[in-house]
Structure 1
Amino acid sequence: MARHLVAALLRSGEWRVRVTDLAPAITLDPVEEKGLLGAALRDGRAVYAPANVCDIAQLTQAFQGVDVVFHTASADPDINDFQLHYKVNVEGTKNVIDACVTCKVQRLIYTSSSAVVFDGIHGLFDVDESMPYPNKFPDAYARSKAEAENLVMKANDIYDLLTCSIRPGSIFGPGDTIVPYLLSHGGMMFTVGDGLSCDDFVYVENVVHGHICAEKTLSTKEGSKISGGKAYFITNMEPMKLWDFIYMLLEELGYKRKFRIRIPLAVIRPITYLIEWSYNKVLHMYGMRQPKILTSARLKYISLNRTFNCKRAVEQLGYKPIVSIKDGIKITTNNAIAPKI
């Protein structure tokens, strides 16, 4: 998402952008090198400053002279390691807040997650921001993102720093992992569970748009009073059955829907536990990665309803999706290669 945000800020012509990441130097693909980001890095509209969110000294140096920070850094959600997520997502976010205060940054927009209100037991249907954090979370990622978001919200209007959190739904778009995963599994034509669970997907450019709307709102005196210290769900506002979305992607990739194999949760759940046990005991020592879909936490995400109400973002941030689900899928799959079967 971060690179899409950088590109959007540069396209507006209103920003000079400082990009931070772990790598000692920024690496661009050929398209980026010839495109907007490459040109901006060459003419100074964009600069790269290596920084680790776990190193407050590096962050403080990177934030010098900065007015606004968009904090998008996060540990890999597919790695269910609480120590890792706590270090990066919670302690890292605290470092970001402290560095913002030290450097007199005016506004901090945090990329949170809709998972912060999900307990993995109860489905969520059209919930809004009044939904509290659960007592338990399905994985380390959701728990740490909730803790980090809480830090950001409490930091609002302290030492003149204004903050806001964006809670995206299930993000998709160019550069995501969904299409490569489907391709690597030959366009999997199966459904896990009853296939009725609904999800709220959001195209990556809409997530970017939500961040920019939040920043613009915080930049006004009246807007900061309304939105400072608040969190906002951001989705495409087109909730649909999860597996319908998957099959829309597959069909756009060229896989023709002939039939679906349905795998009951009662069948796949024991297999998941066995794979997790094997992975924790043996397989990880040989560098093998556990299949992303076959984790107990992932089963909770794909088998329960998770839809969110964006009314607050619409009314207070002026948010409105700029790319539809259908168009987003076309853009996402445009450069993917899949067999016509």
Structure 2
Amino acid sequence: MRFKRSLKQLGMAIAALCVSAGASADMAGAKLAIVYDAGGKFDKSFNQSAAEGVTRFTKETGVKVFEAQANYDTQAEQVLRALARKKLKLIISIGFSQTQPVQRIAAEYPNVHFVIIDGNAQGKNVNSVLFKEQEGSYLVGVAAAMASKTRTISFVGGMDIPLIRAFACGYAQGAKAIVPKIQIMQNMVGTTSAAWNDPAKGGELARAQFDRGSDVVFAVAGGSGMGALQMAKEKGKLAIGVDSNQNYLYPGTMLSSMVKRVDNATYEALVKANQNQFTPGITYEGLKEGGVDWALDKYNRSVVTPEIEKRVLAAREDIVSGKIKVVDYRAAGSCPQ
């Protein structure tokens, strides 16, 4: 009776803390869990890509994965602790904002395995999956510079942090490799987690950039980026999506998407856990590892010329081979001029 009561209390606590629309599994019986960040499972970007990895895993194995959402850091810690108390096999945390909560809870529950995607948390029971965003961003920078008719392109970032500046820096390096004197505007939505969920602000920033001459915008802003993509459609400009393949949102407007294979990282972590495998430490995912890339499909085929495709693929090959080394803003502390 006490066990049933505690299970019910746990479920109530998680229900109160998490808003996970369409959760694929009840807590009871689940040994694997995932905690999405403030953008939400259906953000059409980072979280949604992770959710696709969960869906693929469950479809292939039939194994349930409990899904939850943390809207801010304090809530993330509460959710993670509630899940860890159930002695789950694996808890996956999505987004850098959960880094500190994961590190604290992992230390408290050394027998529970944690995977944090896009964050670097310390712990013998933690695997941190990081991406080489600068490499994929370089590719879409090449495409942007070649597609631009005004020789002015732009970037709308979400929260002003080194991670987002790494996207912007890679984008600039790729563009300048094509047009050394290209003009690149850069604006951030904000400095708090709210910056990921303000599509109106994202649209306003993109509009201002277009008014100043930009004809291609790279939106790296979670839910806020949706506003920038829509504004590009309204203004007849080109846009570049991020994380998941967003080309389908506005066919003919989307030049490409810088895909970050969060789905693969999530899927692989679940598969390993299901096979009782776990490797702590840091895992880096770049072009060579299949962690990032650009997207070319039927939705953007009409705006990607054979010349653009050829040049992007050549750059991709040079990065994989090591001929081109894209500077990581986070390591360098600045972006090449």
Q: Does TM-score exceed 0.5, indicating one fold?
A: no
- Give the TM-score of the pair, scaled to structure 2: 0.32
- Give the TM-score of the pair, scaled to structure 1: 0.32
The structure whose residues are more often strand, as a share, is 2
